[in-house]
């Protein structure tokens, strides 16, 4: 009789790993199911951001001049800085997962804290960028002001800018919240070389959010920069 | 557990590669390459995303089922972009018999800043009218 079924018959005082849930045969099987579940969720996230990117693409085709103008209004230094910060946070996250895999508890906590600090730094820079847009009345809506012949179309650019970066920032906030729970669990010694699945799937989520920004940075800040003065 | 443990050096190498690619994409953004700017920026972004997916997200060492699920995301993304653009970009190529050519849509090209005058730009989105 397989081990899992014996364990299921006697929920307490049994001889298997405490993290193994009774509907799984082995920890490996449970790990594979958890990882796959996270990937399926990330596929739905790709579709979620994909719809907005489709809108971005179409309006860019229609209003290239407005896209160039709006793109030039974004601060490439802040955007570039944030790109470096976020990619660095992906590195620290990958190292956190590695530390969990090798059973290095203190290193896991340290790398997770570093990841959260970088994530919060990203959000802080985003606050500075948003505040500037508010001051300049570049936030779409009744108070939107933009000089020039393409004002209304630049408003569409900024709608998509706020839509895309706002949803991305929301994902970052959720990610930091997720990591604080994982960090707490790690500091309590909940993970071992046999079971570190929560660290790994939180990492998958964090890397996905990084990938979204890898596309948003060139699409919003970069692509039309060179054409404006042509 | 069966998880693949990558050497630390691999992670640092991937990070360096991502930084170099970021520097390149920023530098290229200031050079006017006409219609090529967009595909180059997108190509670099796809390369960076692939590095993150394969090594940081361990897809290279994952099961074939996981790889298939990941690939399906990009397949359906291409369906979304491809089918939608095949509609919008082809509007105005032909006028149906008995149809009117005005307001039927605009023939547009991605990436060129001067090719399309964006008809109806002052009021309604071009091509939105039937």
Q: What is the 3-state secondary structure (H, E, C) of B16-75?
A: HHHHHHHHHHHHHHCCCCHHHHHHHHHHHHHHHHHHHHHHHCCHHHCCHHHHHHHHHHHH
Residue A7's pLDDT band, with cuts at 50, 70 and 90, is: very low
ipTM exceeding 0.85? yes
How close, in Å, is residue A196 to chain B by CA atoms? 9
Residue A114 scores a pLDDT above 90: yes
Same domain, B39 and B86: no
Query: A230 pLDDT band (50/70/90 cuts)?
Result: very low
A26 vs A155, more confident: A155
Based on the fold, state whether residues B8 and B47 are members of the same structural domain: yes
The nearest CA of chain A is from the CA of B95 a distance in Å of: 20
CA pair distance A43, B69, nearest whole angstrom: 7
Q: Are residues B23 and B50 in the same domain?
A: yes
Number of domains in chain B: 2
Say if B113 falls within a structural domain. Answer: no
The more confidently predicted of residues B95 and A80 is A80
Percent of all residues in chain A with a pLDDT value above 70, rounded to a whole number: 93
Q: So what's the pLDDT on residue A1?
A: 44
Q: Give residue A11's pLDDT.
A: 53
Chain A contact probe: residue of B34, B56, B76 with most A CBs at under 10 A = B56
Tell me what the pLDDT averaged over chain A comes to: 90
Size of interface A-B (CB pairs under 8 A): 170
Residue A113 pLDDT class (50, 70, 90 cuts): very high
**How many angstroms away from the CA of A81 is the closest CA of chain B?**
10
Residue B23: domain span: 1-57
Comparing B129 with A54, the larger pLDDT belongs to A54
Same structural domain, B49 and B2: yes
Q: How far is CA B73 from CA A100, A172, A213, B19, B87, in A?
A: 28, 21, 17, 26, 22
The pLDDT of residue B32: 87
Q: Residue A163 and residue A220: Cα distance in Å, rounded?
A: 12
CB atoms inside a 10 Å sphere around CB A126: 18
**Assigned domain for B129 exists:** no
Among candidate residues B13, B40, B57, the one where a domain is terminated? B57
> In the prediction, which pLDDT does B130 show?
40
The half-sphere exposure of A187 on its side-chain side, counting CA atoms within 13 A, is 11
pLDDT recorded at residue A13: 58
CA distances from B97 to B16, B94, B130 (A): 58, 9, 15
Residue of B nearest to A196 (CA): B1
Question: B36 and B13 in one domain?
Answer: yes
Which chain B residues are within 8 Å of A47, Cβ to Cβ?
73, 76-77, 80
Would you list the DSSP string of chain A? --HHHHHHHS-SS-SS-TT--TT-SSHHHHHHHHHHHHHHHHHHHHHHHHHHHHHHHHHHHH-HHHHHHHHHTS-HHHHHHHHHHHHHHHHHHHHHHHHHHTT-HHHHHHHHHHHHHHHHHHHHHHHHHHHHHHHTT-SSSTT----STTHHHHHHHHHHHHHHHHHHHHHHHHHHHHHHHHHHHHHTT---SS--HHHHHHHHHHHHHHHHHHHHIIIIIITTTTTTT-
| Claim to verify: residue B29 and residue B53 sit in the same structural domain | yes
Q: Is the same domain home to B75 and B45?
A: no
| B66's tokens | 């996981």
* C-alpha to C-alpha distances, A55 to A160, B22, B27, nearest whole angstrom: 8, 25, 27
Residues B1 and B33 in one domain: yes
Residues from chain A that touch B88, judged by Cβ atoms under 8 A, are 58, 61
Same domain, B3 and B53: yes
Q: What residues of chain A lie within 8 A of the CB of B44, using their CB?
A: 218
**Does the residue B98 lie in any domain?**
no
Q: Name the residue in chain A with its Cα closest to that of B119.
A: A62
CB–CB contact A64 B33 (8 Å): no
Above 90 in pLDDT, residue B125? no
**A203: chain B residues, CB-CB within 8 Å:** 56-57
The stretch A82-107 carries a mean pLDDT of 96
Residue whose tokens read 């920032």? A169
Query: What pLDDT does A14 receive?
Result: 63
Domains and CATH numbers, chain A: 29-222 (1.20.120.80)
> What distance in Å separates residue B9's CA from the closest CA in chain A?
10
Which pLDDT value is given to residue B104?
40
Confidence band, pLDDT 50/70/90 cuts, at residue A100: very high
Least confident of A42-56, A89-103, A121-135, B87-101: B87-101
Q: Using the beta-carbon criterion (under 8 Å), do B25 and A218 form an inter-chain contact?
A: yes
Cα(B81)–Cα(A58) distance, integer angstroms:
9
């Amino acid at each position: 009789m397989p081990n899992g079924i014996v364990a299921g018959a006697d929920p307490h005082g049994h001889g298997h790993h405490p993290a193994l849930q009774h509907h799984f045969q082995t920890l490996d099987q449970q790990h594979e199911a958890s990882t796959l579940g996270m990937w399926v969720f990330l596929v739905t996230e790709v579709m979620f951001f994909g719809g907005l990117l489709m809108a971005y693409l179409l309006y860019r085709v229609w209003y290239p001049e407005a896209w160039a103008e709006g793109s030039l209004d974004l601060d490439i230094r802040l955007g570039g800085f944030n790109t470096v910060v976020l990619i660095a946070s992906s590195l620290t996250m990958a190292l956190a997962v590695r530390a969990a895999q090798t059973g290095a508890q203190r290193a896991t906590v340290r790398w997770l804290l570093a990841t959260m600090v970088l994530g919060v730094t990203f959000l802080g820079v985003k606050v500075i960028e948003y505040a500037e847009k508010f001051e300049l009345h570049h936030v779409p809506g009744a108070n939107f002001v933009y000089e020039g012949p393409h004002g209304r179309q630049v408003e569409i650019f900024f709608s998509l800018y706020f839509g895309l970066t706002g949803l991305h920032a929301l994902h970052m906030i959720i990610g930091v919240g997720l990591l604080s729970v994982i960090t707490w669990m790690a500091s309590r010694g909940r993970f071992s070389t046999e079971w570190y699945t929560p660290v790994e799937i939180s990492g998958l989520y964090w890397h996905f959010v990084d990938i979204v920004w890898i596309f948003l940075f060139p699409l919003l800040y970069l692509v039309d920069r060179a054409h404006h003065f042509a | 557990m069966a998880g693949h443990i990558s050497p630390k050096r691999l992670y640092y190498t991937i990070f360096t590669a991502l930084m170099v690619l970021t520097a390149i994409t920023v530098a290229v953004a200031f050079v006017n390459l006409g219609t090529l700017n967009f595909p180059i920026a997108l190509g670099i972004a796809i390369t960076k995303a692939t590095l993150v997916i394969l090594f940081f997200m361990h897809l290279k060492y994952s099961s074939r089922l996981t790889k298939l699920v990941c690939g399906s995301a990009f397949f359906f993304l291409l369906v979304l972009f491809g089918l939608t653009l095949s509609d919008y970009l082809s509007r105005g190529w032909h006028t149906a018999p008995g149809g009117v050519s005005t307001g039927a849509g605009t023939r547009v090209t991605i990436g060129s800043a001067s090719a399309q005058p964006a008809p109806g730009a002052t009021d309604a989105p071009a091509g939105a009218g039937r």
